[in-house]
Structure 1
């Protein structure tokens, strides 16, 4: 190790020891400031024209003094120098300058000044430099910040955070805008040197290591720090302050719990008193109401209500008997309607048998050998415009009409008349069509002239499922459904299998 380094280290240790023992040490030269107070008694010949001195920005904090006082610069103008040049040089407005004359002061006119003219320039108060450790940064709390989150982000314990912020009044009630000191390297006790104190006394009082203090505060001697500067004592922690804040938190929590319990008890007592008063009021009102005209009228009303309920029960029994009689009548009518339907279907078969057209003869043979089919109507109560084989329009004369045309408004839902597999869904012989096939029965059902389909090829549909919507695609004269049945490929009359 070089001898010069050892010699310097010994001198530093000796200086620190002398400072801790209270021996006098020469104070360092203070930093320059931007302005200075100039007493009115100062001779004009002693005034200089000061130039602004740039301030360095070490790890210091700047603040203005509590009572700045009267700060003024007296300037001797050069020949032909304008007041605006002086104002610009000192960073003030032209109206702030005052030209000194024998009779007093006046505002400058803006014209060039004669050489030697005295001008008073009011200056802002100087900036006082306050020194603090470079490893301490300041954080301003924002909305939603908590001490626990801040400690987690800064990797600090509660003890370390409290020791760096002795003015912290609570661990829980922190307002937005609160400024906290955050150690970024060494942690310890952060103190502000007060009047009557010195850094050496504080180091000796808290028994801190002088070398650790010198490294943490970037100083050579304790006398470099003055009143108002901040001093970091590494490894020293404000445990008593932490215990005080924790005790304050516990007291506040206990008071809050006691306040909640007291409020609950008071609410319970108020509720119990109100309940007793309400029960007493109701009992007294009930005693007064027992023989009141209102009660007697209510008793008579209840008697009339009982009589009315008895009458309603009799009416319900009679209505039930009438309903049973009606259901029996409906069942008989259904039997008669079924018989008439079979008779009509027989007559239709007879008429079709007498029709010489080969399509009608083929339909009759297919219907006679058809299995027992129980179809449902694809539309609810439709209006039939063209029946099976009917030659009602010229197109049906040219082309045999092999189904039923059912008229309904555009977009009316169409439902499956029978189970089956969709074999076609889209454009076809009847505009937009849907074909369903029941292979076991040899049955094919065609739904024609649809505006849109709701099924896809290969899909299995059940009786009543949505097939599509009424439309007017293909050859048609208006919105309707062409409903066609084919048994073994032969068109048959759908009315022979619909209920």
Structure 2
């Protein structure tokens, strides 16, 4: 087994170097190959040492399924990852807790070993795994091949320890290295995406190339020739004058030689991992869909069974009787609605009759007012009469919802109206009653003025100005456009006022006119 492990590791380096397909230079004979392999086996046996963690080195646990022996024990990260550089010399192993549906082949690939290096802990014994997926939580022992200590390495190769949050791309950017250059200096890199905290990586700081360790049966000169490296460049990169200065266990940097095969394999592993992750997601989604579909069918069946039971239940019979009573009630309600509709029609006819009578009376009053105005010698009345006769067709609305007139246009009902002509209508309402625009227009004044707090609106097309006086508060601003029915402000008693009321005034071409002539 030791011989196999060393041969595999040596052959791995050569293949990923991309120059040879065997573990020794092409010109070596079969006898030399056998001698080299024998030397590897003897060296591997001589380097076997007592590991610091017996349960990781292959010694079986007292109860392999009882992981309490691991409690409180510090396990080096190197034992849990496929990075050989951090492993102690001598044979060692790692305990891996399998994820759901993980296959033994995936674990072997991640650690760079064969299936024969895996043992599954079951029932207090170690068993050879099959190719079937493992259950989540199963413990697998991975036998790791031994490594040789490094005696000498190029001074341009620095070692960094992976910290939390580090990724291969971060290290490449920080070291100004390409992925190909970083992989060629770390042949035992098992993944492009998974770096365990504590892993030690080789970082070239000058020339880049293939960094390999000289194995038993090899020499630096053989490796230089096998990889067709430039001797002068190798001597300069390794700070040596002769290849004989390097011996077994030393590391050799071959500038310009790169592990393209390893790079391609790691890229293939990444692609397989991505495909496996996508397949796992699709499987989980499909299983979720199947579970949802089964639950939906079960719920449909449950509801159907409940419905069948309800069809003959006393509750359903009671509900039928209730529906019959509801039908009778609906018929009675329809009859009541028909009677109410008839009464509503009668009431609307009454309102129409009242409106017609009101219109007739309003017209009569307007006629009387015009007659009175024509006989009124005051110039304001004569000007108003002339303006009204030439006025455009106006359709105003009342500025208050329920107006109560206290002073009409030109009426001398109080001493102030005797002294000064009353050019509008006074409508009494409580303070705070909303006031609405009688006609659309643009606000030209809003605030203190001749009638306390006022709002003036102007319709330039009609040459019409409307004044809302004695307001408690305005609701519009100067320059604002209002439509008929928009809120103007609120009834108050500001300025010359005897009580809360609205002074409503119309001016056509600047001449005050009687608003009643244009209100409905």
TM-score (norm 1): 0.57
The answer to whether the aligner puts 1:291 opposite 2:312 as a matched pair is: yes
> What's 2:510 paired with?
489
Q: 1:179 to 1:494 in 2, by over 3 A?
A: farther
2:272 and 2:231 map into 1 onto residues whose CA distance is 38
The answer to whether the aligner puts 1:345 opposite 2:395 as a matched pair is: no
Q: 1:200 to 1:442 in 2, by over 3 A?
A: same
The answer to whether the aligner puts 1:247 opposite 2:282 as a matched pair is: no
Deviation at 1:334, TM superposition (A): 1.9
The answer to whether the aligner puts 1:329 opposite 2:385 as a matched pair is: no
Q: 2:193 aligns with which of 172, 187, 192?
A: 172
> What's 2:180 paired with?
159
Mapping for residues 80-479 of structure 1, pairs under 5 Å: 133-134=155-156, 143=165, 147=168, 157-174=178-195, 186-191=207-212, 203=224, 206-217=227-238, 232-271=253-292, 273-275=294-296, 277-349=298-370, 357-367=378-388, 370-381=391-402, 387-390=408-411, 395-405=416-426, 415-420=436-441, 429-430=450-451, 434-438=455-459, 441-448=462-469, 454=476, 456=478, 462-464=483-485
Deviation at 1:289, TM superposition (A): 3.9
Deviation at 1:308, TM superposition (A): 3.0
For each residue in 1:147-206, what CA deviation from the matched residue of structure 2 results, as whole angstroms up to 9, or x when unmatched? 567667877544333223434332233567877656565432345779999866765664
Contact 1:133 1:232 in 2 (8 A): no
Contact 1:371 1:441 in 2 (8 A): yes
Number of aligned positions between the proteins? 373
Q: 1:412 to 1:320 in 2, by over 3 A?
A: closer
Unmatched runs of 5 consecutive residues or more in structure 1: 1-65, 67-127
2:255 and 2:206 map into 1 onto residues whose CA distance is 10
Q: Which has the larger radius of gyration?
A: 1
Q: 1:370 to 1:285 in 2, by over 3 A?
A: closer
Deviation at 1:330, TM superposition (A): 2.4
2:400 and 2:215 map into 1 onto residues whose CA distance is 99
Deviation at 1:486, TM superposition (A): 1.7
2:285 and 2:411 map into 1 onto residues whose CA distance is 88
Deviation at 1:375, TM superposition (A): 0.9
For each residue in 1:344-402, what CA deviation from the matched residue of structure 2 results, as whole angstroms up to 9, or x when unmatched? 33444455566664434543454455444211233444666654345566654443232
Contact 2:159 2:200 in 1 (8 A): no
Q: 1:134 to 1:284 in 2, by over 3 A?
A: same
Q: 1:248 to 1:449 in 2, by over 3 A?
A: same
Contact 1:426 1:453 in 2 (8 A): no
CA RMSD of aligned residues (A): 4.9
The 3-state SS of whatever aligns with 1:309 is helix
1:408 and 1:216 map into 2 onto residues whose CA distance is 104
1:478 and 1:224 map into 2 onto residues whose CA distance is 118
Q: 1:430 to 1:216 in 2, by over 3 A?
A: farther
Q: 1:304 to 1:155 in 2, by over 3 A?
A: farther
2:245 and 2:496 map into 1 onto residues whose CA distance is 107
1:332 and 1:421 map into 2 onto residues whose CA distance is 37
Pick which of 359-368 and 370-379 moved more. Answer: 359-368
For each residue in 1:264-316, what CA deviation from the matched residue of structure 2 results, as whole angstroms up to 9, or x when unmatched? 45445544554554455455444444433333323323333333333333333
2:463 and 2:424 map into 1 onto residues whose CA distance is 17
Unmatched runs of 5 consecutive residues or more in structure 2: 1-87, 89-149
Q: 1:258 to 1:381 in 2, by over 3 A?
A: same
2:366 and 2:446 map into 1 onto residues whose CA distance is 32
Contact 2:153 2:238 in 1 (8 A): no
2:248 and 2:427 map into 1 onto residues whose CA distance is 105
